[in-house]
Amino acid sequence: MKEKVWSIIDALKKRYPHAPCALHSTKDYELMIAVRLSAQCTDARVNLVTPALFDAYPTLEAMANANIADVEKYIHSCGFYRQKASDIVLACRMLLQQYNGKVPDKMEELLKLPGVGRKTANLLLGDLYGVPGSVVCDTHCIRICGRLGLSKGKEPEKVERQLRKILPPEESSDFCHRIVWFGREVCTARNPKCEHCELSVYCNEWNIK
């Protein structure tokens, strides 16, 4: 398994030498907001919405003091906008009141923020603080790691635990970002481009065709 994991990592590195987060942000709390908006929404849609949102509320203080109903108008197209707007404003207030205006760097503290689950927390830990072993289990990660035989099941926390056991901690965050890009371009949910996939040799679905 160790050799297989490193072969997959190396292949993804070759395809994607750089592994940026697909969500656009310039501040720590902006990334927190963008990830919250991405739930049940595409990153592309989020990136269309956030510029106007961040222009309207250019500081953490402005976002924390925003009228939730007004925030809803900016993020309406992201879906579940009422809950997301409430989570965003309340989380920003909490950052000011309890964390000196900074996104926490500990999992247990991040999970206290409204709207922040393990997926969001792992992404923030990996991208903001470079915490080793940060595994972001989104739909792409769960689907592709299952196909590659790196994990079993579709429950995010269970898949996260499985991947933590086999991924090199220093590679895990970038691995998850690369998996997202790979899932969009090659190993799509429907009609994956198996004939052009450098990982097909490891794929359970390809090898039973």
CATH number of the domain encompassing residue 176 = 1.10.1670.10
| Relative orientation angle of helices 43-56 and 68-75, to the nearest 10 degrees | 140
CA distance 99 to 92: 10
Question: Do 184 and 108 lie in a common domain?
Answer: no
Question: Do 124 and 40 lie in a common domain?
Answer: yes
pLDDT at residue 206 in the model:
67
pLDDT at residue 24 in the model:
96
Buried b or exposed e, range 124-163, using 16+ CB within 10 angstroms: bbbbbeebebbbbbbebbbbbbbbbebbeeeebeebbebb
Whether 138 is catalytic is yes
pTM of this prediction?
Answer: 0.92
pLDDT at residue 177 in the model:
96
pLDDT at residue 204 in the model:
83
* Both structure tokens of 208: 């039973």
CA distance 192 to 184: 9
* Domain span at 98: 28-129
Tens-digit pLDDT profile for the chain (209 aa)?
A: 899 999 999 999 999 999 899 999 999 999 999 999 999 999 999 999 999 999 999 999 999 999 999 999 999 999 999 999 999 999 999 999 999 999 999 999 999 999 999 999 999 999 999 999 999 999 999 999 999 999 999 999 999 999 999 999 999 999 999 999 999 999 999 999 998 899 999 998 765 44
**Any idea what the Cα angle at residue 204 is, between residues 153 and 152, rounded to 5°?**
15
Domain boundary at 114, 129, 144, which?
129
Domain boundary at 129, 160, 180, which?
129
CATH number of the domain encompassing residue 97 = 1.10.340.30
Question: Do 101 and 162 lie in a common domain?
Answer: no
User: How many residues in the chain?
Assistant: 209
Q: Which of 87, 119, 127, 174 is catalytic?
A: 119
pLDDT at residue 92 in the model:
98
- Rounded to 10 degrees, the C-alpha dihedral 149/152/153/154 comes to -50
pLDDT at residue 196 in the model:
87
Whether 119 is catalytic is yes
* Both structure tokens of 209: 């065709």
Q: Which of 28, 43, 87, 138 is catalytic?
A: 138
Question: Do 155 and 93 lie in a common domain?
Answer: no
Question: Do 92 and 66 lie in a common domain?
Answer: yes
The domain total for the chain is: 2
CA distance 152 to 166: 13
* Both structure tokens of 68: 């939730």
